[in-house]
Each structure stands twice: as C-alpha cells, then as structure tokens.
Structure 1
Amino acid sequence: MAAWVFSVPFALLLVFVKTSFVPLDSFDRGVTLDMHEDALENPGYTAFLRVATEVFGPWTWRVMVVLVALWLWRRGSRRLAVWAVATITFGGLLNLALKEIVDRARPDLPDPVASAPGASFPSGHAMGAALGACILMLILLPSLRSRAARIVAWAAAAAVVAFVAYSRVALGVHWTSDVVAGVTLGVAFVTGTAAGYETWRRGEGRRPVVAPEEGIEPEAFQGTDQG
C-alpha cells in the first residue's frame, strides 16, 4: 500500500513531464530562475552546496549500503545483505533507464554555477539519497530501542534527502519536478522491495513486522542466522 502512495505522484509527474504540462513547466522554470538568482548572489553558499551535493551523491550511498551489507553478511544476515545491495543496485538502474526514456533536458541558465551530465528526469542524486537513506534506516532501526530515537532518526534521514533534492535545484542542474520524482520513486522502490522481503519472512513463519517502526529484519540485531 505504501509503495502505491509514493508511486502515484511519481506517475503523475512522469505524465506531466512527457506531455509538457504547461503549469508544471511554468512552476519549474519560476523556481529554478529564483534559485539561480540566489546562487549568483551568494557564491560562498553556492560553493558549499557544490561540495555537499557530491558528498551525499549516489556513490556515497552505494558505498555505505555495500559496507553495511558486508557487515550483515559476516553476521550471518545474508538475505538482508542481498536485499540491501539488490535494492540500491536495481533502483539505480531504474533511474538510468527512466532518464533515457524520458530524455528531459536540464535547465539551461545564464552564468551557470554548476553542471551535470545526462538527462534530467528523475534526479539521480535525489533518488540515490532516498534509496540509500531508506535502506539504511530499515536495516538499522532495530538497533534503536526507543520510539523517540526512531522518530529522530527518520527525521534526520528525511532532512538529508530533502537537502540533497534542494541542492540540485539550487545549483540549477535539475528542475523541482525532477527531484520530487526522484525522491518519490526512490521511496516507492524501497517500499516495494521491502514488501517482497516481508512476504518471504511470513512464508518462513517469521512474525510480521511493521517495517517503518521495527525495520525489515529485527532478528539481524539479535544474533539470528538467516542463512
């Protein structure tokens, strides 16, 4: 159900972008031009954004997920490790495929403050952050014992994803709809693979879990060998 909640806005944005929906195009252009003016007026902050957006770029998330997956594998949580690597890998490939299919041009601005290769929709940075943050949260949630700690962790993860999305628009390398599409598709993809993982859990006779509250495999922090 949650996967559909995030899939619907992505699907609508995809249709609007492919049909050059005028209200969306006008909104995107207006926001981008306003942010571009701010970027030109604040070179120091713009320089910070250029560094930060790459620090939280797709490869950072891939490396973190792979490192956590290796740790899980050594602990015996091998199916969880495979889920993590498969989710971020196939999520990234889906992003690349959609970029090729949609082939949306990036903003073409006077005096650009940053550049990026390839097509614009959906944002790879935004989707990569959403994929990575959600995967890591669903793995590590069982290590957070209190509800308050889990809420804070989710809030921090959401803030990082939102910052990455904002940075891409502020630097003029993406439209707002690109980053919204990237985030919603990333969350939908992780939610969908997590639902598949939960189906496997129940088929194995494991107790059902509420993934956003407990993570997708609480036993990973209880020394349970998943084979």
Structure 2
Amino acid sequence: MVTWAALRHLRERRLRADRRFGVRLLASAAVAAVTAVCFGLLLILVEGQWGPLRRLDSAAAQRLHTVALHHPAWTGTLRLLSDRVWDPVTLRAAVAVLTLWLLYRKAWRLAAWAAVTAVAGGLIGLLVKAVVERARPALQDPVAHAPGYSFPSGHAMTATTSFAILLLVLLPLVPRACRVPCWCVAVCSVLGVGFTRVALGVHWFSDVLGGWLLGLAVVALTAWAFEAWRADVGRSRTPVSEGLEPELTETSPEPGISPR
C-alpha cells in the first residue's frame, strides 16, 4: 500500500531530478553559446586583421616553419599524422562506421545525432571558409601544401566533432577505469591535429583555434538537442562522463519501453 509520505518523497525526488536536469541542460546551452560567441569574436578579429593576432599568427608560423625545415624526420612524422592518422577522411570514415553500427543496434536517434553532427560540422566549416576567404600562410620553401581557404581549419574542426562523437557514443561501453585515458587520447589528438597544421605551415594558429571553437559549438548544440529529446521521452540526463545514452549497454529493452 502506497502511503502519502511515500508519494510525497517520490514527488520530491522527481522535482530534484527535474531541477538537476534543468541546470545541466542550461549548462549545455551555455557552453554552446559561449563557444559560439568566442568564435564570432575571433572571426571579427581575423576579418579586421587585428594587429596582436596577426603578430601571434606570424610568429608561430615562422618559428615552427624553421623547425620543420631543419628537421626532415620531424616534418615527415607531422605529415604522417596530419595526412593519414588524423586526416578528416579517416575520422569521418570512423564516424560513418560508428553510425552504421548504431543502426545495426537499432539506436536510431543516437545514429541520427552522430550523422547530423558530423555532416553539420563539415558543411558549416565549408560555408565559413567560403565566406571569410582567408589565404593560407605563404612561407618560403614550404614543407606542405593544402588547397582551399584557411579559416577555420577543417582538420581541427573535424577532429573536434569526430572525437566528441566517438567519446559521447562509446563511453558507456568503456570500463570506468579506462575513461580518463580515453578522454586524454581524444584531447591530445585534437590538440595534436591543430599543432601539425600550424607546424606544417598550412594554417595560421587562429585558423586552428577557430576550428576548435566552431567544432565545439556544433557538438554542444546537437548534444543539447539530444538531451532535450531524452527529457521529452522521460529519460534522465546523464553526466558527460557517462556518454549521451548509457542505455546503449543494454542487451534488451525494458518491457514496454523502447531503449532507443
């Protein structure tokens, strides 16, 4: 028999859960807003050719280019990482495989989130490049070449969105003891991508920073939308450390409830 005290306790638990969800959802929206504002400010500084930023870009490009010219083995390693390991085609292929696996698992909405985030990130990056039309660094004796415009860095943006997708989808399947190393690998990879592009002389530092910020904004916005959907269907919001959908680990759905 259910007592009034038990009902009141259940109601209070639900209210606390709702408040926590609201705070976390607001935090997700705030992250998206802050990164979008930071990107917009950076874009204004790039378009306005702000002196301090130009000097920072030039100094970083010249210093790293000098190192690349005098250390061929180091430059070859950077090319391998940039053009093979962290190449946008490789990362997008990894996300495509993940999306197909999610479809196989009948995780329809999570698969849609992964696909939309990856495609939206790529299209937005191309659109901004076409609007800004920033030229790439013109260095003497270049060690690498890249086509197209410079701002934002497509490599940096693709790395940000791709590693975020992989982490937020697969974290529920990773043992807790291995989650911190996974985060470290993802963060180091995203930072490493940006470094290789500047060190190879095909991007300015501000290009890479713009790619990171824009990629983070795209992921934050789509993740916010996904979490809002979870609230609409009555599911609790989960911490970032648990991934977007912890139910992915379930082998069978609860009676009467679709896990996806």
Task: State the partner residue of 2:130.
Answer: 100
Task: State the partner residue of 1:3.
Answer: 32
Task: State the partner residue of 1:47.
Answer: 76
Higher mean alpha-carbon deviation, 53-62 vs 99-108, is at 53-62
Q: What is the distance in 2 between the residues matched to 1:226 and 1:108?
A: 53
Q: How does the TM-score come out when normalised to structure 2? A: 0.84
Q: How does 1:112-123 map to 2 (within 5 A)?
A: 112-123=142-153
Task: State the partner residue of 2:15.
Answer: none
Task: State the partner residue of 2:198.
Answer: 169
Q: What is the distance in 1 between the residues matched to 2:133 and 2:151?
A: 7
Which residue of 244, 249, 257 maps to 1:216? Answer: 244
Q: How does the TM-score come out when normalised to structure 1? A: 0.96
Q: Which amino acid aligns with 1:77?
A: A
How far is 1:149 from its partner? 2.2
Stretches of structure 1 that go unaligned for 5 or more consecutive residues are none
Which residue of 181, 198, 215 maps to 1:186? Answer: 215
Q: Which amino acid aligns with 1:218?
A: P
How far is 1:54 from its partner? 1.4
Question: Which has the higher Rg, Structure 1 or Structure 2?
Answer: 2
Q: What is the distance in 1 between the residues matched to 2:109 and 2:218?
A: 18
Any conservation in 1 of the 2:120–2:218 contact (CA below 8 Å)? no
Q: Which amino acid aligns with 1:153?
A: C
Q: What is the distance in 2 between the residues matched to 1:137 and 1:188?
A: 16
Any conservation in 2 of the 1:3–1:187 contact (CA below 8 Å)? yes
In percent, how many aligned pairs have the same letter?
44
Any conservation in 2 of the 1:79–1:226 contact (CA below 8 Å)? no
Any conservation in 1 of the 2:134–2:150 contact (CA below 8 Å)? yes
Runs of 4+ in 1 over 4 A off after TM superposition: 224-227
How far is 1:10 from its partner? 1.5
